């Protein structure tokens, strides 16, 4: 399955709200998910949403054992999540650096709820229902935002913390 090109910040299609998947077990969806994994892995991401490759369906994939991009991040199980729903479990927030394959080269400090519950189905149509916190909670919130046309810079409150990844060293103390 091929790596696909990724829409970049500024492309108006990234602002679109994606449609629910009617049949999670279709061959078309299986092919889409294979392309999402290939595209994510080729670019070293930890998650990607279908609209980022121009398919406006509510599908995200994420997870990794270890990420060169986020070397201190704990492992997240590799997950295909279709028609996701997210509920905030803990209104306390955390602020951390995020990047996005659609915003290449940049990182930003984003504040998000610390813990969430997410649910949806996998490619077999079986239910997924998890309670997570920390980096895992951040990744799923970031990916699901794409399904509603939201990119992380819109979640930022301090744009002085939108920087090139190569300059993050000046802000290392912010963790």
Residue numbers at the binding site for Ni ion (CB under 5 A): 100
CB nearer Ni ion, residue 40 or residue 100: 100
In the complex, what is the shortest distance from the CB of residue 145 to Ni ion, in angstroms, rounded to a whole number?
A: 8
C-alpha span between 110 and 31 (Å, rounded): 32
CB nearer Ni ion, residue 43 or residue 129: 43
103 SS3 class = coil
What are the DSSP calls for 117-152, one per residue? Answer: EEEEE-TTS-EEEEEEEHHHHHHHHHHHHHHTT--G
In the complex, what is the shortest distance from the CB of residue 25 to Ni ion, in angstroms, rounded to a whole number?
A: 26
> Would residue 143 show up in a list of annotated catalytic residues for this protein?
yes
Please name the helix (run of DSSP H) or strand (run of DSSP E) that holds residue 106, with its range, or none.
Answer: strand 106-121
Minimal CB distance residue for Ni ion: 100
In the complex, what is the shortest distance from the CB of residue 95 to Ni ion, in angstroms, rounded to a whole number?
A: 17
In the complex, what is the shortest distance from the CB of residue 6 to Ni ion, in angstroms, rounded to a whole number?
A: 9
CB nearer Ni ion, residue 134 or residue 153: 153
Pairing of strands 59-64, 76-98: antiparallel
C-alpha span between 90 and 50 (Å, rounded): 27
Give residues with Cβ within 8 angstroms of 22, minimum separation 6: none
C-alpha span between 86 and 149 (Å, rounded): 15
CB nearer Ni ion, residue 25 or residue 67: 67
Give residues with Cβ within 8 angstroms of 125, minimum separation 6: 24, 25
Catalytic residues: 143
């Amino acid at each position: 399955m091929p790596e696909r090109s990724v829409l970049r910040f500024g492309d108006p299609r990234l602002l679109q709200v994606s449609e629910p998947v009617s049949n999670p077990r279709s061959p078309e969806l299986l092919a889409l998910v294979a392309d999402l994994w290939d595209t994510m892995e080729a670019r070293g991401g930890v998650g990607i949403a279908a609209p980022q490759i121009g398919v406006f369906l509510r599908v995200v994939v994420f997870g990794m054992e270890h990420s060169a991009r986020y070397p201190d991040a704990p492992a997240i199980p590799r997950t295909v999540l279709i028609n996701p729903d997210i509920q905030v479990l803990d209104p306390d927030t955390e602020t951390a650096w995020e990047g996005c394959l659609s915003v290449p080269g940049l990182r930003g400090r984003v504040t998000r709820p610390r813990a969430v519950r997410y649910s949806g189905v996998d490619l077999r149509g079986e239910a997924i229902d998890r309670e997570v916190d920390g980096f895992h909670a951040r990744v799923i919130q970031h990916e699901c935002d794409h399904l509603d046309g939201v990119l992380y810079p819109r979640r930022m409150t301090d744009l002085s913390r939108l920087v090139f990844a190569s300059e993050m060293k000046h802000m290392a103390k912010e963790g």
